[in-house]
Amino acid sequence: MHDSLRRFKTEFFKALAHPTRIRILELLRAGEMSVNELQTKLEIESSGVSQQLAVLRNRNIVEARKEGTSVYYRVRDPQVFELLDVARRIFNAALIDTQSMLEQLEEEGASEDPPERTTRRAYARAP
Amino acid sequence: MHDSLRRFKTEFFKALAHPTRIRILELLRAGEMSVNELQTKLEIESSGVSQQLAVLRNRNIVEARKEGTSVYYRVRDPQVFELLDVARRIFNAALIDTQSMLEQLEEEGASEDPPERTTRRAYARAP
DNA sequence: ATACAATTTATCAATATTCAAAGATAGCAA
DNA sequence: TTGCTATCTTTGAATATTGATAAATTGTAT
């Protein structure tokens, strides 16, 4: 496996690993949007929006188009949304997994000795 | 969009955003593997392997099975590999993009005035 | 007890995040 | 032109998070 590909993946996932940046990508899914519009919807300072956009821009995930005093951003490759979708599917699968595990514990709990409640949330931060 | 899903995505992408962890997932693609085997293939200290595995474990991306003194790890949800695949496709698309842009510049360069060399590497770190 | 496998902890360097202030740049009006 | 405003970007400083390394610890088998 090429090292450059692995470096790319690392930088790419790093760029996505931020709640605001994920929100930005979600918003840009509907099409291009100005920084102003983004700022209004995100409800954070405009400098903050610019900073997060800069991260996405430096990784060439988004690109900008200037029009008057406004700057419109759009996602370069729609496959980025696939990434978000797959992540969502993994999230859902984990939820279902946890839920059916809990149900099974309840069933067994009715007749057997009390099971240890070591239930950890699926895919969550460490304790 | 649910906040919990966004937090999940953030944590998930953060977990993937590391070259060693990506290599680990690539290795686990073939099936489960002991820490020892991983350590041999990765050529890093065993404590380093454990640490990276801990990150993946805390996000419930991998799970462990103990057998004697060995611990075997496997990926919980194969959809994780989809994530890596989509990232690879985005990488390839960016390469093709850059290449055809360069070719176009060369064609035009033969007859027109010298084009500005503002060629940025696709999806790379900032200058 | 010894050896082996794996994990945890401690420490320090390197990166990333946040917020506010200061800098561009385009449009517009006097 | 000059000055003013709106939009966006960049910078700096404080804080927080992450990374790498080595040392100490746990657990299991012989």
Digit-coded pLDDT (tens) for A59-84: 999 999 999 999 999 999 999 999 99
* E strand or H helix that includes residue A36: helix A35-42
* Residue at shortest CA–C1' distance from D28: B69
Q: Which residues in window 58-97 of B are less than 7 A from strand C by Cβ? A: 64, 69-71
Nearest to A83 among B60, B87, B126 (CB): B87
Q: Residue holding tokens 């099936």?
A: B31
Q: Nearest C-alpha of chain B: how many angstroms from A27?
A: 10
Q: How many residues does chain A have?
A: 127
Chain A: residue whose CA lies nearest to B24: A6
- Average pLDDT of the segment spanning B96-108: 79
CA separation for the pair B68, B119 (Å, rounded): 55
CA separation for the pair A74, A57 (Å, rounded): 10
Model pTM score: 0.84
Q: Which residues of A touch B18 (CB under 8 A)?
A: 10
| Residue B99, pLDDT score | 85
Name the nearest CA neighbour of A122 among B32, B10, B8: B8
- Average pLDDT of the segment spanning A82-91: 98
Q: Which residues of B touch A8 (CB under 8 A)?
A: 87, 91, 123-124
